[in-house]
Amino acid sequence: MQNKGLIRFFAIIFAIASIYQLTYTFITNKVEDDASAYASNVVNEDAENAASLRSAAEKRYLDSIASQDVWGGFTNYSDAKSQELKKGLDLKGGINVILQVSVRDLLTGMADGSNDPAFNAALDAADERIKDGQDDYFNYFIEEFNKIEGAELASPDIFANQEMQTKGIEFEMSNEQTEAILREELKDYMTSAFDVLRKRIDKFGTTQPNLQQLGTSGRILIELPGETDVKRIRDILTKAAQLEFWQVYKSQEVSPYLSQANTYWANKLAAENTAEETEETVSDEVSELAEVAQDSTEADLGDLLNQDDTADATTDVDAVENFDDNPIFGRVQAFQGQGGIMAFKESDKDLIDSYLNDPQTRGMLTGELRNVKFAWGLPVLAETLGYEVVELYALKGNAQNEAPLSGGVITDASQQFGNSGAPVVSMSMNGEGAKIWEDMTTEAYQNQNQVSVVLDNTVYSAPTVTNGPISGGQTQISGSFTIDEAKDLATVLRAGKLPAKAEIIQSDVIGPSLGQEAIDSGLWSFGIALLLVLIWMIFYYGRAGLYADVALLVNILFIFGALASLKAVLTLPGIAGIVLTIGISVDANVLIFERIREEIAKGKSQADSIKDGFNNALSSIIDANVTTFLTAVILYVFGTGPIQGFATTLMIGILTSLFTAIFITRLFVDGYVSNGKTIAFSTAITKNWFRNVNIDFLSKRKMAYVISAVLIVGSLASLAINKLNLGIDFTGGRTVIVGFAQDVNATEITKQLSADDIFGSAEAKTYGTDNQLKISTKYGINRDDSEVSQEIEDKLYKVLKPYLPADMTQTQFIDVSDENKKFGLRRTFQVGATIADDILTGSLYAILGSLIVVFLYILVRFRKWQFSLGAVAAVFHDVIIVLGAFSLLYKFLPFNMEIDQAFIAAILTVIGYSLNDTVVVFDRIREFINERTNWDFPRTVNGAISSTISRTLNTSLTTLIVLLAIFIFGGESIKGFMLALIIGVIVGTYSSVFIATPVMYDTMNKSKGKLTPKEPKEEKEA
């Protein structure tokens, strides 16, 4: 192997970088363990609010050391936390946010900003009722509107406008008819908001988020794994993203108006002050007369009440600078900014707004200035002044109050760096936008004016066009951005604008959905499984197996180091990708060792056998990994949520597996034999295992077809009759927040609520503190709301009563009217499906797209479409059988077998494993065709499959060891997930031999079916 020194150098660098990156995770874990210990010591465990006090104590401890060095003298906890390997909702929890999209704004928009008194009175009344009510805002609005005599929703002044007429609302339509149309429109708007938020979160980089609509209330529940920065999340989620581009007036163009406004307000304030002084004088004279008349009475009252009036009462009044003589210009700050007409203290912004936009003041505007729009820039800390200032801009408005160019033309946005090296947001426009932008910049260039970029009514930049018109639709937003702020702004612009204002009305930290016991047992079982794999490799391959084990451990280190450095979030689907990667890594070493054993059996020297073994195995390894990698790329590009999490881990794992199997193992092997030592690549026990295997697999293909046909027909029948046990991710359901009198075990509560006579399926996880749970269930999802709600409350009280205060009645338990209630049912929501229809459709397209890409790759590499058909047929065969098994068994097995986000990852793992196994077999068939030109096709195929039996069994066995160990020793909540993987590995191994190969064989013309063998070298030279 060439360049050993370079490979060794890169291996050491990667290992050091991975260890360094993972060090942050160990640091934060230690600090958080210390915080937990501190909290336990300072909080009285018998206290009524022990859990919340303990949580507050932990937070106080972590806040106190956030900026202190916690390792090495240069790393503080805050920095370490931002660099740690984040875990998903299922493993660690994260932030739970409830976002309220303003239904009032949506209704006002549909009513075209109506000023109808009845309409606005109903909105105001709904605002008041929603503060304490549990119903939807729209329902309150309709109730209040119907109370107003003669009020009609389909009035031309309200909803019978031009826009809503296209939606089906007609003049003098009844309120009931109009209400139905409005309800559907609101649903569409909420779906739009939901899509925008999901796109923002996906582009933000969070893996496997959870988004659910809370009925039709305008509220959206969002769970973000591994996130702790609530402020940043608020900015990402609540920005309206209303992007506009406006021409800007020069200061001299608006200075006459500003002077008039300044004079007007100076006179007005002077007149008001004179009136106030006169009123105060009269009031003082009246008060003096009253005091004289009441002196004796007050004295008597003082005696009766034994009051002591001897103390002096003094009031200190801070001196306030008087700007009455110069109310606008007197507040202007000496600040050199980006070209605003004036700059003011940030605290004066609202006051200046009121002066300039007062109706009386604006009446002084003439000509084009009548439509001027005043807008503010971003607050900037003026170091010379010691406080924040903000610039005022005068935008060239119009009668329609519509920007000449809006954000709808933006096709892409990304964070880049400007000429000064500062972060900026670069944007691209479509053809229409590019033309308008060129016209605007042409006008600005000719007049040496500015063009402003306004986002959510804030001017982010207003450059003067000095270098000519800007063509091509490219522009930038600059400002005092950090890199993260610029990235987040680009994310918001790419995702689009929200249809209405949104605000976070609640945010809490939630615990892991799997439960700590399940996580701990899962980690232990994974460790046991890995140890068994390491032992097996040494048992089967001897010293070579030991080297493969070292390469496997290095591979796992690289994977976790890469995940941490990329700030990816580790989830259960991600772990599935790691399990598949372990199989791929072991498979690569097994392929190499088996080829070396074959070369040794041919009588070659050890050095030649090692060289040829690595070279001959390379083709199979590359083909198998490229097909799997292409699948992962397509899944990542077109998938969302758990699919992207799985694809990310798989892509990283494939790259690290290739490096460690091909290079790290080779370094150890070459290093050992370079001193004349011998390495056997087997042990005394396994030396002759699977040697000279010669099985006629093709003769058994008809029986295999029958077996597979029975399994597929049975699976399809079960899917049609039993269907799948879809989880709340697909169906939606109900979620409740329950407070308890003491800390509770979420895993135990989940088990009790999931009993067949309770909900059959439920999930509980800690919510904020250990004595509060968030419980979700799909129970009764297709039945009447009021009836099911009563049943759910009854069942919850029955199961949870032992954990509640002893004197709490069921009536007290279900009462949610008290917002300060500590115990019992605190809140209840009806939630929509986490996996929306478009996500599911996108996932299916991603899977189909990946199979098409794999089909084409195999076609190019193997030059026969029959190989591609065989591989894809095997994949469909495996997926249908796994789905059928779940459909058939979920009613009988004692653990949860719901179809949820994790199950999608399991299916993807099955696809990856099946493709990997099939391509290895096909690659050997191709090799035999080229090498054994005198064999007929059936003998070639059977011989090739027989030669891969040792590799197939070793790879499948090691992968199954991992899965079975986690299945047996892991937590109850992941058994269904593991069962899907186990079934998938078994059928994947079977299908590569008995489905993919026979399909290829039977569809290929036997007389002309062989791949064209390579010409011998001497013939080519001749």
826-858, pLDDT tens digit by residue? 777 666 555 555 556 666 776 777 778 878 888
Distance between start and end Cα atoms, the chain: 31
- Tell me whether residue 965 is in a domain: yes
| 126 HSE (CA, 13 A, CB side) | 25
Q: Mark which of 26, 49, 84 sits at the end of a domain.
A: 84
- Tell me whether residue 334 is in a domain: yes
Model confidence, pTM: 0.59
Residues 845 and 825 in one domain: no
Residues 532 and 632 in one domain: yes
Residues 577 and 711 in one domain: yes
What is the C-alpha separation between 945 and 918, in angstroms, rounded?
Answer: 10
CATH number at residue 256: 3.30.1360.200
- Tell me whether residue 69 is in a domain: yes
| H-run or E-run covering 143 | helix 137-147
- Tell me whether residue 505 is in a domain: no
Q: Mark which of 214, 240, 266 sits at the end of a domain.
A: 240
Phi, psi (deg, nearest 5) at residue 459 = -80, 115
Residues 713 and 760 in one domain: no
Residues 181 and 227 in one domain: yes
What is the C-alpha separation between 976 and 895, in angstroms, rounded?
Answer: 7
pLDDT at 288 over 90: no
Q: What is the mean pLDDT of the chain?
A: 76
pLDDT at 312 over 50: no
576-to-623, 640, 886, 956, 978 alpha-carbon distances in Å:
22, 16, 18, 15, 9
Residues 30 and 172 in one domain: no
Residues 455 and 603 in one domain: no
182-224, pLDDT tens digit by residue? 888 887 777 777 777 776 676 554 455 667 666 656 777 777 7
CATH number at residue 759: 3.30.70
Which of the four pLDDT bands, split at 50, 70 and 90, describes residue 699?
confident
Neighbours of 968 (CB within 10 A): 12
Count Cβ atoms within 10 A of the Cβ of residue 813 and give its class: 0-12 exposed, 13-18 middle, 19 or more buried.
Answer: buried
Higher pLDDT, 619 or 392: 392
Task: Determine the 3-state secondary structure of 110 from DSSP.
Answer: helix
Which of the four pLDDT bands, split at 50, 70 and 90, describes residue 578?
confident
Residues 859 and 979 in one domain: yes
Domain count of the chain?
5
Handedness of CA 555, 559, 562, 564 (dihedral sign): negative
The torsion region of residue 855 among left (phi > 0), alpha (psi -120 to 50) and beta comes to alpha
Residues 712 and 748 in one domain: no
pLDDT at 344 over 80: yes
- Tell me whether residue 928 is in a domain: yes
Residues 589 and 526 in one domain: yes
Across 69-83, 442-456, 487-501, the highest mean pLDDT is recorded for 442-456
Extended beta strands in 284-323, E state: none
pLDDT at 717 over 90: yes
Q: Mark which of 831, 865, 885 sits at the end of a domain.
A: 831
The boundaries of the domain holding residue 755 are 733-831
What is the C-alpha separation between 258 and 266, in angstroms, rounded?
Answer: 12
- Tell me whether residue 304 is in a domain: no
Q: What is the 3-state secondary structure (H, E, C) of 449-500?
A: CEEEEEECCEEEECCECCCCCCCCCEEEEECCCCHHHHHHHHHHHHHCCCCC
Phi, psi (deg, nearest 5) at residue 721 = -90, -55
State the pLDDT at residue 292.
42
Task: Determine the 3-state secondary structure of 531 from DSSP.
Answer: helix
* Long-range Cβ pairs for the range 412-420 (8 Å, 24+): 412/494, 413/489, 413/490, 413/493, 413/494, 414/490, 415/483, 415/486, 415/487, 415/489, 415/490, 416/476, 416/486, 418/476, 418/478
Residues 868 and 937 in one domain: yes
Residues 76 and 111 in one domain: no
pLDDT at 257 over 60: yes
* Long-range Cβ pairs for the range 44-52 (8 Å, 24+): 48/741, 49/822, 50/742, 50/743, 50/771, 51/742, 51/743, 51/769, 51/770, 51/771, 51/772, 52/768, 52/769, 52/771
What is the C-alpha separation between 777 and 741, in angstroms, rounded?
Answer: 23
- Tell me whether residue 102 is in a domain: yes
- Tell me whether residue 382 is in a domain: yes
